Amino acid sequence: SFFTQCYDKDYQYVLNRERLKRIALIIGQPLSIIVNNCKNYQIIKDQCATLKANNLIENYFCINEHLDIILQTFNLKKENFSNSLHYNICLYGMGSLFFCTSEYLCFFTGDSTPVQMSNFIKDSIKHDKNNSLTHTYMLSWSNSNEIVKSQSYNEDENFYYTKNFS
């Protein structure tokens, strides 16, 4: 499953029709959208309904409408977070995990657009099956492998390994 998220400050960019078409072409299917916790989610929800009807997104889910059950699923409360920014950032990730029905989830932050998809997903699944450790896989955030390499502690033919990620 491929997910991304938006909220009331970035939805016009994230839900741009041409952008969604371009991403679907690159990844081979439309994205599902997590409408993150926000005041004006109904406007975004209405736009998502139109996009889904036009097959530009696979589906959409509103955190506002499922907030309590999502927090319960992860045994969390708002008070468990140090501030509202961390709370809202974690909500869209938890929402993606909560609504994902497939075995694998690929999440693109709302403002990211993949340039290409090589064997990234197949290589990641193969790597996971051959490893006892849990990994998070990311497409490179830079056009320069040297920058990514300088921040890694190890590499192999498919991956650079880091202790943290953005």
- Among 15-24, 34-43, 114-123, where is mean pLDDT lowest? 114-123
The per-residue DSSP string of the chain comes to -EEEEE-TTTHHHHT-HHHHHHHHHHHTSPPEEEE-S-TTHHHHHHHHHHHHHTTSSSEEEEHHHHHHHHHHHTT--GGGSSSHHHHHHHHHHHHHHHH--SS--EEE-TT---S--SSHHHHHHHHHHT-SS-------SSS-HHHHHHT-SEE-SS-EE-S---
For the chain, percent of residues with pLDDT exceeding 90: 51
Highest mean pLDDT among 26-35, 43-52, 82-91, 154-163: 43-52
Residues 125-137 have pLDDT tens digits of 888 888 877 777 7
Residues 43-55 have pLDDT tens digits of 999 999 999 999 9
Mean pLDDT of 23-50: 93
Residue 14's pLDDT is 94
- Cα–Cα distance, 89 to 10 (Å, whole number): 14
Cβ atoms within 10 Å of 151's Cβ, excluding its own: 13
